[in-house]
Structure 1
Amino acid sequence: MPQLDTSTWFTTILSTSFSIIHRLQLKLTTHIFSPNPTPKDLKTLKHHNPWDKKWTKSYLPLSLHQH
């Protein structure tokens, strides 16, 4: 059985690791990285509030009439 012959293990492991490292480097060098996102000013962002004020007032716990 050739798997038990340990004389070729070093060559096999070395060539396999070289192939994996080489392919990894090729993939990393051809990858196109996206540019860094630019931060937005928080004061210019407007929040859209879909609730109508007359409905939200009736559901607030502090606006309930207390006895």
Structure 2
Amino acid sequence: MMVITAREFALLQSFSNDQLFARAIESATAVDTNISIDNALKNYMQLGVLCGFSIYSIFYRENII
């Protein structure tokens, strides 16, 4: 179990709604500009909430684990 802030919840909810990474960051910073994206992602991965993500571009797709 982990306590999360409203900004971290906004980030997690954006991922849950399949939003792009940039949009997820915008959603989280709209709640609070002081969010640490790196720490939030690390916490989600440690809990197993997030196991990896993909970076898409026009030319390639790279999986990040």
TM range, smaller chain: under 0.3
The alignment's TM-score, normalised by the length of structure 2, stands at 0.22
Point out the structure with max Rg over C-alpha. 1
Q: Which structure has greater strand proportion?
A: 2
Higher relative contact order (CA 8 A, sep 6+): 2
Structure 1-normalised TM-score? 0.21
Structure in which a larger fraction of residues adopt helix: 1
